[in-house]
């Protein structure tokens, strides 16, 4: 097949969606397919693909978004590709896989991360009158009706697409993001002592892990409040925060509620696969995640997970088996209760085994094979026309 992907930034180091697409395109090349990438920016040392630079108005951001979508569509239309793929920032695509979920669902749900009504109001007005937000919404809306197939990266995203766009259920396949089950593996537990030693943590400490580059959206404020509650019943509880974001507001909060000595900020780390099994559970009280790769990586590492119903990855977790799914990220009492429920050593062991078993059903290889199946379906349909 001759396959074209349209994406603004094609770099495996930019984010989870970009990393997934880079690996998927590599897989398709290895399977013998001819892959063309239409992008405005490319990462360093991108090889093995046919690269097409797409021009876009540099600023304002709204015109950058709109001009890229239009120019990318024109570029892919000039050639006779068997299948075109879009991820939410192109005007048209045969296969649409919106990695960020539904823009307007993110728009409203993520606002809940602002609990101060004045700040909420300012953020709401800022978004409502932001040309960038409207441009992203317009570009996301455009391909839905004409796409031959839509792939939702979680059951949550599928429901959002049906509810928001009225797309027939039969037009949507659910293919969860794949996780590298070899890189993220319980055997990395052999690094547990070494990683904990970096932060002065002992082997008996109950270590909660939080991984994100957006502390506000992923609910760190509420996790810290829950930590203060857990500390009253379990003095050896600690929290390790991994990710690049401002830590000073959270350190001030921790100091104010008396748990600053229990929190450690690691920043960005190059060996994240060693951090998951060094902790006892991942707590990810997010306000919006289409399908958090962090959750899948934790499960693959044998780490139980506490997340929320606003995370597509949470929809695969069986309550009390591989972890817990919270109804409300702001309900710190309930979050603390679930942390304590998982802290029992025998419960942790059972949940760890169940977590790894669940993640093995969502391997990268299986995900890529499912994506290839959908691409072949589209090509076959076109050949009959």
Q: What DSSP letter does each residue of 41-80 carry, written as one string?
A: EE-TT--SSEEEE-----SSHHHHHHHHHHHHHHHHHHS-
**CATH class for the domain made up of 2-178+364-384:** alpha beta
pLDDT at 245 over 70: yes
The pLDDT, as a whole number, for residue 385 is 46
Cβ 220 vs Cβ 212: under 8 Å:
yes
The pLDDT, as a whole number, for residue 312 is 97
Return mean pLDDT, the chain. 94
Cβ 270 vs Cβ 205: under 8 Å:
no
What is the fold of 186-362? Rossmann fold (3.40.50)
Q: State whether residue 289 is helix, strand or coil.
A: strand
The pLDDT, as a whole number, for residue 90 is 92
Measured between alpha carbons, how far is 158 from 150 in angstroms, rounded to an integer? 9
**2-178+364-384 matches 186-362 in fold:** yes
The pLDDT, as a whole number, for residue 382 is 58
Any idea of the CA torsion for 276, 316, 27, 382, to the nearest 10 degrees?
Answer: -160
Preceding amide of 60 cis, omega within 30: yes
Strand partners for 239: 208, 263
Bridge-based pairing of strands 305-308 and 237-242 is unpaired
Report the percent of the chain where pLDDT is more than 70.
99
Dump pLDDT digits (tens) for 124-149.
999 999 999 999 999 988 899 889 99
Sign of CA dihedral 176, 180, 182, 184: negative
- Quickly list H helices, the chain: 16-30, 61-78, 103-109, 117-128, 131-141, 155-165, 192-198, 220-231, 248-257, 272-275, 293-300, 332-342, 345-359, 364-384
Residues 6+ apart with CB under 8 A from 326: 285, 306, 307, 308, 309, 334, 335, 338
Dump pLDDT digits (tens) for 273-301.
999 999 999 999 999 999 999 999 999 99
Dump pLDDT digits (tens) for 307-338.
999 999 999 999 999 999 999 999 999 999 99
Can you give the residue ranges of every domain in the chain? 2-178+364-384, 186-362
pLDDT at 383 over 60: no
Alpha carbon 45 to chain centroid, angstroms: 24
């Amino acid at each position: 097949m001759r396959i074209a992907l349209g994406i603004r930034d094609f770099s495996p180091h930019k984010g989870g969606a970009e990393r997934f697409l880079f690996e998927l395109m590599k897989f398709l090349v290895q399977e013998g397919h001819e892959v063309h990438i239409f992008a405005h920016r490319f990462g360093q040392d991108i090889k093995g693909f046919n690269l097409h630079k797409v021009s876009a108005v540099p600023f304002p951001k709204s015109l950058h978004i709109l001009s890229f979508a239009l120019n990318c569509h024109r570029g892919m239309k000039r050639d006779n590709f068997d299948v075109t793929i879009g991820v939410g920032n192109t005007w048209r695509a045969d296969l649409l896989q919106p990695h960020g979920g539904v823009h307007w669902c993110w728009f409203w749900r993520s606002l809940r991360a602002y609990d101060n009504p004045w700040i909420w109001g300012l953020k709401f007005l800022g978004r409502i009158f932001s040309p960038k937000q409207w441009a992203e919404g317009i570009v996301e809306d455009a391909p839905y009706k004409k796409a031959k197939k839509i792939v939702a990266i979680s059951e949550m995203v599928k429901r959002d697409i049906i509810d928001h766009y009225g797309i027939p259920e039969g037009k949507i396949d659910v293919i969860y993001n794949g996780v590298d089950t070899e890189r993220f593996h319980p055997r990395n537990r052999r690094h547990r002592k070494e990683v904990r030693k970096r932060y002065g943590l002992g082997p008996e400490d109950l270590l909660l892990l939080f991984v994100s580059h957006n502390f506000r959206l992923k609910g760190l404020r509420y996790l810290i409040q829950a930590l203060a509650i857990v500390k009253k019943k379990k003095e050896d509880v600690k929290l390790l925060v991994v990710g690049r974001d401002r830590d000073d507001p959270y350190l001030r909060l921790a100091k104010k509620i008396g748990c600053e000595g229990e929190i450690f900020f690691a920043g960005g780390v190059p060996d994240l696969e060693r951090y998951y099994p060094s902790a006892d559970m991942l707590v990810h009280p997010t306000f919006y995640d289409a399908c958090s790769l962090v959750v899948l990586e934790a499960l693959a590492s044998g780490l139980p997970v506490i997340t929320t119903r606003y995370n597509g990855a949470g929809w695969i977790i069986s309550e009390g088996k591989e972890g817990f799914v919270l109804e409300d990220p702001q309900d710190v009492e309930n979050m603390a209760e679930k942390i304590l429920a998982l802290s029992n050593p025998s419960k942790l062991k059972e949940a760890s085994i169940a977590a790894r078993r669940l993640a093995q059903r969502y391997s990268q290889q299986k995900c890529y094979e499912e994506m290839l199946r959908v691409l072949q379906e589209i090509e076959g349909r076109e050949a009959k026309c």
